Structure 1
Amino acid sequence: MELLYLNEGDVTELLDMPGALSVVEEAFLEHGMGRAQMPPK
């Protein structure tokens, strides 16, 4: 599995807080349905 690493500047340029929360919510929903992988930190 390939991972994309973003630095703080990349993230702030691409997402605002409402957008970030929406993406995190979607990721957890997908993970809960078994359709996403979250590698350990």
Structure 2
Amino acid sequence: MALRPNEVQGCNEYLMSDMKAILLYLFLGNRGISPGLPVPE
């Protein structure tokens, strides 16, 4: 199934925003400022 360019772009933006959220979460978690979620080991 071929994706149209705008769909691929949206997917890339979604993955990037997800990565940023994970990195921010890990950064805050390492500083003891957990946003209410279990801190990963």
TM-score, normalization by structure 1 = 0.53
State the TM-score, normalizing by the size of structure 2.
0.53
Q: Which has the higher contact order (CA 8 A, sep 6+)?
A: 2
The correspondence for 2:33, drawn from 14, 23, 35, is 35
Alpha-carbon RMSD across the aligned residues, in angstroms, is: 2.3
Question: Which 5+ residue runs of structure 2 have no aligned equivalent?
Answer: 1-12
How far did residue 39 of structure 1 move? 5.9
- Residue 23 to residue 38, structure 1, CA distance change in 2 (3 Å): same
More helix by share: 2
Please list every run of at least 4 consecutive aligned residues from structure 1 whose deviation after the TM superposition is greater than 6 angstroms: none
> Which residue is equivalent to 1:18?
16
> What amino acid maps onto 1:27 in structure 2?
Y
Aligned to 1:12: none
Corresponding residue pairs, total: 26
